[in-house]
Chain A
C-alpha cells in the first residue's frame, strides 16, 4: 500500500495522542509483581509502619510489598476513589466500621473469616475487642493491627502551675478554668478545628458522659430522630457554651490537625489542655523537645459532667487500625498479603517500636514490655483505659457510613462556628440517619 502524505500526517498526529491516552490507563498499581500497601504518613507512626514492611521484605526475598504513604485527610478520599476505580492497593489500611461495611457490601474486600479460622493463633494473639470494627454481619473483613488509640485529655503541667490551678475533675471545673487561663493570655484548649473530626471528639465524650453510650448506639442502629434525644441536645448546648466562653484557641477553625499545629500549641504552652487521640503522646514526644521527658505532659480521662448518666470508664477512639485485602488483587498478591498478616504484622520489633512511640499495641502479653518502657506510666494508663472500658466506642466518623459521616462533620463545624443551633444540628442529622 502506497503511503500518501495525508495518511502519514494522520498517523503522525494520531500516534502520540493515542499513546498519551493509553499511558493514562496503565498507571496505578499493576496486577503483577508484589503486593502494594498504602498507609498514612506522619512520624513517628509512619516509621513503625515502614519498618514492619522493610523487615518483611528482607525476610521474604520472593514476596515483596511496595508501600506508599499519604496524608490523613487526603488518604480518606484517595482510597475510596481508588477502590471504586478498581485501582486499590492489595493491602488497604483503614479504620474499620462504616467505611469497611461499604467496601464489604460492594464485594471489594476479601472475607477473611476462614483465614482467621485456619490461623487461629493469629486471632488469639490480639485484643479480642479489636475485632468488633473489623466484623460486618458476622464476617471478618479486616485484620486488626497497630495500637489501641483511645481519646485522652492532655494538659500542660507547667502552664497549670504557672496559673496556679489544678486539672479539672468535672465539666463545671472545665468551665471555671476557662476564664482563668484566658485572663493570662493562654488558650484553655488547643483544637485543630479545620480537620473537623477533632471537634467531633468533644461531642463523642459529652454525649457519652451526659446520656451514656446508648445515645449514639441508637443513632448507629438507625432509630428515628435519635439525634433529638434531650441528652444529645444538652451535650450540643454545652459544647456551644464552651465555644462562647472562648474555651478554644483563637483561630481554631483554621487550624488543621495534619500539620500538628494543634499539638504545638500545647507543648509550647500557648494552650493549657487538648483533647486528642493516644497517638498524640508520640507526636509530643517527637516534636516537643523535652516536654514529655521532663514530665510536663499531663493526661487524664475526660471528666464526668454533673448529673450525667454515662459511665466514667467509657471511652471512644480507635480500637485498632485495620488492614483489608482488595478482592481485585491477583492470587499472588493476596498470598503475599496474607503471609504479611501471618508473619509480618505486630512482630516483636514492631511491637517494641509502637511501645517506644508511647502506644499500646493490640498484641496480648506485652505487659512486661510496657512496664519496661520509658513511657511506662502513660502506657499503663492507656492499657487500663482500653482494657477496663465498659464501652469502647468507635470514632463516629468511622462508625457511620461515609454519607452520614460527611453530613455529621459538616454540621459539627457549623455548630462550633455557632452558625447553627443544637436543634438545627439535630434536625440536619436526623435527616441522614440510616443512610
Chain B
C-alpha cells in the first residue's frame, strides 16, 4: 500500500482519508479485535460452552501446556506448513511463468488450472474422500491396485494426501500471483539477456527468479500464515486422524472447544495460534528486508 501513497495527488483534502478507513476498521474491530480479547479472557476461565463461566486463573493454560497433544499438534502444523510450502512454491513459480507467456493455448490452460480455486474446500475434501475410499473409491472401482491404498487410514499416507489436496487447491491461486509478477518484468531485461546469449534456463534463473523476489515473499506469507488455519479441508478429509496424525493446531482447538466442551483450554490454544501466526508474519516481513514495499523494477 505504501507505494500507492507516493502517487497521491497533493491537492486532495487530507482529512477524508481517515474516514475511508472506517468501514474496514469497524469490521476489523468487530470481527477480529473483539473476539481476540474475548478469547484471551476466556483462556483464564473454565466453561463448558453452555453453563456459567467460572474464572479459574491459569488452570486452562496449565492443562494445555502440560498436554503432550500440544507439541504434537504444533509439530504437525509446522510440517503441514513447511511441506506444503516446499511443494507449492516451485510448482506455482513454474506454472506462473508458463502462463505468463502470450500464446493463446497458454491462456486456455491458465483457465483450466484455475478451476480448483473456484471450488469450496468442503466440496474438494468430500470429493477426494470419496475418490480415495479404500472400498468404493477410484482404485477399487477401476481395479487399479496401486490406487486402492488405505489413503486416509494410515498416518504417513493421510499426511501426504492432505499435502496433495492442499496443493491441488492452492497452486492455481499462487500461480496467478506469479503470473502477474512475471508479466511485470520488463521485456528489455530479456532482450538484453538474449543479446548476451543467455538461454531460456539461464534467463529464468538470472532474471525471472530474482525479479520475483517480492512476489515470492508475498506468496509465501499467504501460504505460511494460511496453512495455520487449514481446518475445513482436514476436518472433512481425516478429522485429524488416523489417531492424531493430521491434527493441526486449528483442529485441536476446534475439537477441544466444540466436541469436548472445554472452552478454556481451547481459548488458550487459540491465543497460541494467534501468537504463532503473528510471529511468522513478522519473520517473513523481516526476511523480505526493510524495503519490502519498494519498487520491484530495480535495474529496469
Q: Mark B202-230, 1 if CB is under 8 A from A, else 0.
A: 00000000000000000000000000000
Interface residue? B160 (CB, 8 A): no
Which A-chain residue is minimally distant from B126 (CB atoms)? Answer: A259
Q: Which of B50, B244, B260 has most A Cβ within 10 Å?
A: B50
Number of A-B residue pairs with CB-CB distance less than 8 Å in the complex they form? 118
How far is B240's CA from A413's CA once the two chains are assembled, in angstroms? 11
How far is B256's CA from A402's CA once the two chains are assembled, in angstroms? 10
Question: Which B residues touch A10, using CB under 8 A?
Answer: 19, 22
Contact residues of B between 13 and 59, Cβ < 8 Å to A: 15-16, 19-20, 22-23, 26-27, 30, 48-52
How far is B145's CA from A250's CA once the two chains are assembled, in angstroms? 13
Contacts A251-B135, A253-B153, A261-B136 hold; do A14 and B22 have CB atoms under 8 A apart?
Answer: yes
How far is B260's CA from A75's CA once the two chains are assembled, in angstroms? 14
How far is B30's CA from A20's CA once the two chains are assembled, in angstroms? 11
Interface residue? A217 (CB, 8 A): no
How far is B52's CA from A406's CA once the two chains are assembled, in angstroms? 21
Q: Would B50 and A17 count as touching, CB distance under 8 A?
A: no
Q: Would A251 and B259 count as touching, CB distance under 8 A?
A: no
A18, A81, A106: which contacts B52 (Cβ < 8 A)? A106
Q: Would A254 and B22 count as touching, CB distance under 8 A?
A: no
Question: Which A residues touch B239, using CB under 8 A?
Answer: 194
Contacts A13-B20, A403-B48 hold; do A250 and B134 have CB atoms under 8 A apart?
Answer: yes
Interface residue? B151 (CB, 8 A): yes
Question: Which B residues touch A249, using CB under 8 A?
Answer: 135
Q: Mark A392-429, 1 if CB is under 8 A from B, else 0.
A: 00000000011101110010011001010000000000
Interface residue? B152 (CB, 8 A): yes
Which B-chain residue is minimally distant from A415 (CB atoms)? Answer: B243
Q: For this complex, into which size category does the number of interface residues on chain B fall?
A: 35 or more
Which B-chain residue is minimally distant from A271 (CB atoms)? Answer: B135
A6, A108, A406, A414: which contacts B50 (Cβ < 8 A)? A108
Would you call the interface of chain B mostly helix, strand, loop, or mixed?
A: loop
How far is B261's CA from A249's CA once the two chains are assembled, in angstroms? 32
How far is B27's CA from A14's CA once the two chains are assembled, in angstroms? 10
What is the distance, in angstroms, from A195's C-beta to the closest C-beta of chain B?
9
Contacts A10-B22, A14-B26, A417-B242 hold; do A250 and B258 have CB atoms under 8 A apart?
Answer: no
How far is B16's CA from A316's CA once the two chains are assembled, in angstroms? 69
Interface residue? A102 (CB, 8 A): yes
Q: Would A406 and B259 count as touching, CB distance under 8 A?
A: yes
Q: Would A106 and B50 count as touching, CB distance under 8 A?
A: yes
What is the distance, in angstroms, from A253's C-beta to the closest C-beta of chain B?
4
Interface residue? B285 (CB, 8 A): no
Question: Which B residues touch A108, using CB under 8 A?
Answer: 50
- Count of chain A residues with a beta carbon within 8 Å of a chain B beta carbon: 46
Q: Would B243 and A80 count as touching, CB distance under 8 A?
A: no
Interface residue? B158 (CB, 8 A): yes
Contact residues of A between 375 and 404, Cβ < 8 Å to B: 401-403
Interface residue? B241 (CB, 8 A): yes
How far is B132's CA from A194's CA once the two chains are assembled, in angstroms? 14
How far is B204's CA from A104's CA once the two chains are assembled, in angstroms? 67
Contacts A102-B50, A102-B51, A417-B243 hold; do A9 and B19 have CB atoms under 8 A apart?
Answer: yes
Interface residue? B262 (CB, 8 A): yes
Which A-chain residue is minimally distant from B239 (CB atoms)? Answer: A194
How far is B8's CA from A43's CA once the two chains are assembled, in angstroms? 62
Q: Mark A154-194, 1 if CB is under 8 A from B, else 0.
A: 00000000000000000000000000000000000000011
Contacts A250-B150, A261-B133 hold; do A14 and B242 have CB atoms under 8 A apart?
Answer: no
B19, B51, B134, B238: which contacts A251 (Cβ < 8 A)? B134
How far is B256's CA from A81's CA once the two chains are assembled, in angstroms? 13
Q: Mark A14-34, 1 if CB is under 8 A from B, else 0.
A: 101110110000000000000
Question: Which B residues touch A14, using CB under 8 A?
Answer: 22-23, 26
How far is B261's CA from A14's CA once the two chains are assembled, in angstroms? 37
How far is B30's CA from A5's CA once the two chains are assembled, in angstroms? 26
Which B-chain residue is minimally distant from A9 (CB atoms)? Answer: B19
Contact residues of B between 50 and 87, Cβ < 8 Å to A: 50-52
Q: Can you list 6 contacts pairing A with B, beta carbon distance less than 8 Å?
A: A17-B23, A84-B48, A108-B50, A250-B150, A253-B242, A403-B262
